[in-house]
Structure 1
Amino acid sequence: MSVESAAPQPEPDPGPHWPIPPAGGWTADDLDTLPNLPPHTELIDGSLVFVSPQTRFHLRAVNFFERQLESLVPDGLEVLREFTIDIDRQNRPEPDVIVVPEEDYEDPHQTRLPADSVRLAIEVVSPESVARDRGTKPLKYSGVGIPHFWRVEHKDGRAVVYVFELEPATRKYVATGIFHDRLKVSVPFPIDLDLTDIMPKRRRTE
Structure 2
Amino acid sequence: MPDIVVLRPDGVRDEEWTPAADALLVVEIASRSTEMNDRGSKPLYYAEAGIPVYWRIARDGSLHVYELLDGPEYTVTTVVHPGETWATDYPFPMTLDPADLTD
Between the aligned partners of 1:178 and 1:148, the Cα distance in structure 2 is 14
- List aligned pairs for 1:1-206, cutoff 5 A: 94-103=1-10, 107=14, 110-155=15-60, 159-167=61-69, 169-180=70-81, 181=83, 182-199=85-102
Percent sequence identity over matched residues? 33
> Alignment partner of 2:55: what SS?
strand
Between the aligned partners of 1:188 and 1:129, the Cα distance in structure 2 is 25
Q: How many residues align?
A: 101
Q: Which has the larger radius of gyration?
A: 1
Task: Specify which structure has the bigger relative contact order, considering alpha-carbon pairs within 8 angstroms and separated by 6 or more residues.
Answer: 2
Between the aligned partners of 1:105 and 1:145, the Cα distance in structure 2 is 16
Preserved CA contact (<8 Å) 2:12 2:18: no
Higher strand share: 2
When the two chains are superposed, the root-mean-square deviation of aligned CA atoms in Å is: 2.1
Between the aligned partners of 1:105 and 1:148, the Cα distance in structure 2 is 18
Preserved CA contact (<8 Å) 2:12 2:19: no
Between the aligned partners of 1:100 and 1:112, the Cα distance in structure 2 is 12
Length-normalised TM-score, structure 2: 0.84
Give structure 2 stretches of 5+ with no counterpart: none
**One-letter amino acid of the counterpart of residue 141, structure 1:** Y
1:105, distance to aligned residue in structure 2 (A): 7.8
Give structure 1 stretches of 5+ with no counterpart: 1-93, 201-206
Between the aligned partners of 2:12 and 2:75, the Cα distance in structure 1 is 34
